[in-house]
Structure formats: C-alpha cells, structure tokens
Structure 1
Amino acid sequence: MKLALAQYISAEIKKETRFLIDFSDNMEKSFIKKIYGNDLMEIVIGIICVSPIFEQFFKPKPPKYTKEKKHIKSEGFEYEIEKCLEYSIKLDFETFRNSSEIEAKKYLSEEILKSLEIIEAMKSKIKDFDLINFKKDLENYFKEKDLI
C-alpha cells in the first residue's frame, strides 16, 4: 500500500509545516509492504491548509478513484497510477499556525483518521479493500508515534 500526502500550504506557515515531508515519508515507509486487498494499492491525501484569503482557490475536491492504469503528465512530472484513491482534507489554518509541531502532528493524525470514512463511502467502487485492518494499522502507527 502506497500512502502519501500532497501539500497545499500557505507561504505564511511554510516554516511550521516543514515536518510534513518527513511525516509523509515515514508513513509511506511503514505501509509500503502491506496489502489490504486488490482494488486499492495507493492513497494520496491532499492536505489543504491555506490562509483565509486563499481559501476560495483551494477547496477540497471530490474523491477520485482510478482503477485502470493511467499515465499522468502534470506540471513537468510524469507518472502512472493504478488502483489509486486521491482525496483532500482541509485543515484549520489558525489551529495549525498556532500549534507546536507535535500538536500539529496530532491534529493531522486525527484528521487523517477521520477522513477514512471517504473510503467507506466509496465501497461500491472499491470492493476488495480491508478498511478495518487498514484503519487499525494506521491507528497503531499513530499510537506508536504518540500522536493519538
């Protein structure tokens, strides 16, 4: 299972959000060898945390599931996706900005766990996926890191 975070962050909090790259990389390393079924092999969660003046430009998009292999060219990058779910969550800018790094990590962890209901809502498209064990493993991962 490939599990990754994509960032959409305001410049004002770039310094406070530097940890997000390592946070995403460590999460991905922990899940890369796990398999939860045949219909979902990759989850990309967009993390939106922008100041109020930019909110109108960064709205969470509806979840997008790509079952068949698809070649993507975007912003100078080329990659392939298959059995991939992409969705985004919006974090409260002020909460994030006024949090310490550990508080921000805890807030992010809780929001990621809450967002898993999106997978449940897509079970008509994503039939072969063990959401119960995935969620349990993700909760255990966050507990090991003292984030929940």
Structure 2
Amino acid sequence: MKLALVQYTSADIVKETNFLTDFSNDLKYYFSKKEYGDSLQNIFVGIICVSSSLEAFFKPRRPRYTKDKKHVKSEGFEYDIEKYLEFDLKLDFEIIKIASEHEAKKYLVQEILKSLEIIDTMKSKFKDFDLVNFKKDLENYFKEKGLI
C-alpha cells in the first residue's frame, strides 16, 4: 500500500506546514509493506490549507478512483497510475497558522481519520479493500507517534 500526503498550502504558512513532507514520507514508509487487498493500492490525500484570498483557487476535488492503468502528464511530469484513490482534505488556515507543530499534526490526524468515510462510501469500487485493518493500522501509527 502506498499512502501519501500532497500539500497545497499558502506561502505565508510555509514554516507552519513544513512538517507535512516528513509526515508524508513517514506514512509512506510505514505503509509500504502492508497489503489491504488488490483493488486499492495507492491513496493520495491532498492537504489544502490556504488563506481566504486563495480559497477560490483551491477547492477540494471530488474523490477519484482509477482502477485501470492510466498514463498521466501533469506540470512537466509523466507517470502511470492504477488502483489509485485521490481525495482532498481542507484544513482550517487559521487553526494551522497559530498551532504548534504538534497541535497541527493532531488536527491533521483528526481530519485524516474523519476522511476514512470517503473510502467507506466508495467501497463498491474496491470491494476487497480491508478498510477495518487499514483504519486499525492507521490509528496504531498515530498512537505510536503520540497523536491520538
């Protein structure tokens, strides 16, 4: 399983969101050797946290599942995707702006756990995905890190 966070953040909170890259890399590594079924092997969560002046440009997109292999060309990059779920979470800019790094991580974790409902509502697209164990492993990871 590949689980990664993709960040879309305002320039004025770069310092407050620096942790997202390491957090994403850590999640990727933790889940890299885990399997939850064949139909869903990649989950990418877009983390949107922008100031009110940029909100119109960064609306959360509808969840998107790509079952079959697809070649993507985007912003100068080319890559293949398959068995891939992508969805966005919108974080409250003001909360992140004033939070400590630990508080921001805890807030992000709460939002990620809430977002698992998206996977549940789409389970007909990936019938063999073991959401129960995925959620359990995700919660265990967050507990190990002292975030829940």
Indicate the TM-score class for this superposition, using the shorter chain for normalisation: over 0.9
TM-score by length of 1: 0.99
**Alignment of structure 1 residues 1-148 onto 2, 5 Å:** 1-148=1-148
Q: Percent identity?
A: 68
CA distance in 2 between counterparts of 1:106 and 1:117 reads 18
Q: Which runs of 5+ in 1 are unaligned?
A: none
Q: CA shift at 1:9, angstroms? A: 0.1
CA distance in 1 between counterparts of 2:130 and 2:75 reads 33
Q: Secondary structure at the match of 1:88?
A: strand
Q: CA shift at 1:33, angstroms? A: 0.6
Question: Which structure 1 residue ranges, 4+ long, deviate > 3 Å from structure 2?
Answer: none
Q: Which runs of 5+ in 2 are unaligned?
A: none
Q: Secondary structure at the match of 2:54?
A: helix
Offset from partner CA, 1:125-144 (integer Å, 9 cap, x none): 11110000000000000000
Q: RMSD over aligned Cα, in angstroms? A: 0.6
CA distance in 1 between counterparts of 2:58 and 2:75 reads 17
Count of residues in correspondence between the two structures? 148
